[in-house]
Amino acid sequence: MSHHIEFAGLKKVFGTGPDAVQAFGPVDLSIAEGEFISLLGPSGCGKSTLMMMTSGLLEATEGTVTIGGSQVKGPQTDIGVMFQDNTLVPWRTVRGNVELQLEMRGKSLKEFSDKIDNLLASVHLEDFADRHPYELSGGMQQRAAFCQAMVHDPKTMLLDEPLGKLDAMTRERIRSDLQRLWMQERATVIFVTHSIEEAVQLSTKVAVITPRPGTIERIIEIDLPFPRDFDVKNSPEFAAYVREIQEIFRGYGVI
Amino acid sequence: MESFDKKPMFAAMKLRLQNSWMFVAFFIGFFLVWEYSVIFFDIPLYILTPPSLIVEKGAADLDRLLYYTYVTGTEVVLGYGVAVILALPLGLAIAFSSLLKRTIYPFIVCIEMVPKIAFAPLFISWLGFGLLPKVIIVFLVCFFPIVLNAILAFSSLSEELTLFCRSTGAGVWRTFFKVRLPAALPQCFVGFKYAAINATVGAAIAEFIGSDKGLGFYIQIVTGNMRPDLAFAGIFFLTLLGLSLFGIVTLAERLLIPWHISVRRT
């Protein structure tokens, strides 16, 4: 069964009466299975709100989210979530933190042992499995958090600015790690970011979101080959996509 | 719990000595100044006695001091223990129940403002000179810091971790034991330590007000007899009692949350 995601007339209003703020929508969007879609927009445009509604952690005011044909009505468990502030707990090692995801779901650790090894190796953390998060740099922590978010083989991954707090150089490196992981696992990824380059580099599609209330202004298909390495990023096609998106935001006075 | 890198014991002790020699020197210097000031300024012995005499006279009265340490220790341990056993579940309940948060919580905050020790004469008039009123007073001075810190501890899980737990679909108990409880422990220990400091103070004052044994009783009686040497000996054992309780709580903290920033060694 196809595991695509559908938003239909999705809308979120915070508060009631005259104080009500329409945070997001209405939005209609269809995301195919295995797609990597970026929600790109300035802060406060409701990107995170959309993600929270997708995961069922926040109720929509109007409209529906459908994943794989069934409507989202409560917290979804077949997803991997990641936030700007990671969910690594300080009392567990890197490996223990990845295992926490499985333990919370009552899954057998033995069965996933190889999977954990592979995941950690693919983000260059194999030598840090027994370290605690506070012994790691910010970038290493986020890579560990990626492993935690995807160890249970979720069909859908929701990443809410997971690179937001990292410095530019570390971001660059982790982007390629993330891309490789996605190419391996081929989960459907919804990625929230406010970096145009990041969105163009990682995504199959970029949903450009304009603020107040947040709505999807345009969906741009990024037709560039994967993996998008240094050469692709320096290509004129890449630059053209970036410019196209910049124009949209400039038209809205965002930049 | 995962094991943490431990330096060889001997090297660690050497390092600690290197870091603390100044404190040790100050400590010794303090007692030397005290000792010779009493002689130099010709202070009468019924006002202040030199440390050497405190040790000598205290040693002569050791049996009584040890027995009273046991008496006061019992009050402290019982009062503290009951406070931990009752305050922790109550704090947990208040953190998760909006009804309790609106009823009992403001009440507890109000009571916290009242100096608990002011109740001591009342409890002694109600319950007599025995063990029970002292245990109740120790309990009172320990209970509130533990409850208030427990409430804070159990209601301050980060937004992200809360969402993470919900997204895994884990039940209440699993979420509690795997995430909420370990995350709350550091803040709980703030309360445990604060209460441990309060405990001996509470016991001593309760004994001042009305008792026929215990270190507080001892200090009061010997001071009345113009024996500051014995009073200091009593204070020494009271301090030892307080330090022991605090030491045990700190040790428990090290064992239970070796990962926390307040505990881990770099």
Residues 6+ apart with CB under 8 A from A68: A1, A2, A3, A4, A155
- Best of B4, B164, B266 to disrupt the A interface (most A CBs within 10 Å) is B164
Q: Is B264 helix (H, G, I), strand (E, B) or coil?
A: coil
Q: Is the pLDDT of residue B136 over 60?
A: yes
Q: Is B17 a domain residue?
A: no
CB-based contact B163 A104, cutoff 8 Å:
no
Q: Is the pLDDT of residue A48 over 70?
A: yes
- Type of residue numbered B217: F
Q: Is B4 a domain residue?
A: no
- Best of A73, A84, A87, A192 to disrupt the B interface (most B CBs within 10 Å) is A87
Q: Which of B167, B186, B170, B179 is nearest to B261 (CA)?
A: B186
Q: Is the pLDDT of residue A253 over 70?
A: yes
Mean per-residue pLDDT, A88-94: 95
pLDDT at A184 (0 to 100) = 83
Residues 6+ apart with CB under 8 A from B67: B213
Q: Is B6 a domain residue?
A: no
Beta-sheet strand order (sheet of A5-14): A21-31, A5-14, A62-67, A70-71
Task: Write the residue in B161, B163, B261 that is nearest to A57 by C-beta.
Answer: B163
CB-based contact A105 B163, cutoff 8 Å:
no
Q: Residue A133: exposed, middle, or buried by beta-carbon count in 10 A (0-12, 13-18, 19+)?
A: buried
- Kindly report the CATH number assigned to the domain that includes residue B196: 1.10.3720.10
Task: Write the residue in B163, B170, B260 that is nearest to A104 by C-beta.
Answer: B170
**Alpha carbon distance A82, B114 (integer Å):** 46
Reported as a pLDDT band with limits 50, 70 and 90, residue A1 is very low
**Alpha carbon distance B254, A177 (integer Å):** 37
- Best of B5, B167, B188 to disrupt the A interface (most A CBs within 10 Å) is B167
Q: Is the pLDDT of residue A236 over 80?
A: yes
Distances (CA, A) of A145 to A59, A95, A221: 26, 10, 28
Q: Of A172-176, B47-51, B212-216, which range is least confident? A: A172-176
Q: Is B106 a domain residue?
A: yes
End-to-end CA gap in chain A: 42
Complex ipTM over 0.95: no
In angstroms, what is the C-alpha Rg of chain A?
Answer: 18
SS3 content of chain B, % helix, strand, coil (to 5): 80, 0, 20
Q: Is B45 a domain residue?
A: no
Computed over every residue of chain B, the mean pLDDT equals 91
Tell me the residue range of the domain where B110 lies: 50-256
pLDDT at A144 (0 to 100) = 93
What percentage of chain B exceeds 90 in pLDDT? Answer: 71
Q: Is B18 a domain residue?
A: no
The token pair that represents A242 in the structure block:
């970036």
Angstroms from A104 CA to nearest CA on chain B? 5
Mean per-residue pLDDT, A15-34: 84
Q: Residue A223: exposed, middle, or buried by beta-carbon count in 10 A (0-12, 13-18, 19+)?
A: exposed
Q: Is B79 a domain residue?
A: yes
Reported as a pLDDT band with limits 50, 70 and 90, residue A155 is confident
Q: Of A113-122, B9-18, B80-89, which range is least confident? A: B9-18
Reported as a pLDDT band with limits 50, 70 and 90, residue B6 is low
CB-based contact A130 B2, cutoff 8 Å:
yes
Q: Which of B265, B242, B235, B245 is nearest to B58 (CA)?
A: B235
Q: Residue A253: exposed, middle, or buried by beta-carbon count in 10 A (0-12, 13-18, 19+)?
A: exposed
| Count of beta carbons in the 10 Å neighbourhood of residue B158 | 13
Helical spans, DSSP H, in B41-119: 51-60, 62-96, 98-113
Reported as a pLDDT band with limits 50, 70 and 90, residue B3 is very low
Q: Is the pLDDT of residue B209 over 70?
A: yes
pLDDT at A85 (0 to 100) = 86
Q: Is the pLDDT of residue A181 over 90?
A: no
pLDDT at B1 (0 to 100) = 43
Mean per-residue pLDDT, A54-61: 88
pLDDT at B2 (0 to 100) = 44
Contact between A152 and A102 (Cβ < 8 Å): yes
pLDDT at B8 (0 to 100) = 66
**Alpha carbon distance A72, A252 (integer Å):** 32
Q: Is B242 a domain residue?
A: yes
Computed over every residue of chain A, the mean pLDDT equals 88
Q: How many domains does chain B have?
A: 1
Contact between B187 and B153 (Cβ < 8 Å): yes
Angstroms from A88 CA to nearest CA on chain B? 8
Q: Is A142 helix (H, G, I), strand (E, B) or coil?
A: helix
Q: Is the pLDDT of residue B57 over 80?
A: yes
Helical spans, DSSP H, in B97-180: 98-113, 120-127, 131-154, 159-168, 172-175
Mean per-residue pLDDT, A197-209: 92
Distances (CA, A) of A209 to A26, A48, A143, A213, B68: 12, 12, 27, 10, 74
Task: Write the residue in A77, A104, A130 that is nearest to B178 by C-beta.
Answer: A104
CB-based contact B167 A79, cutoff 8 Å:
yes
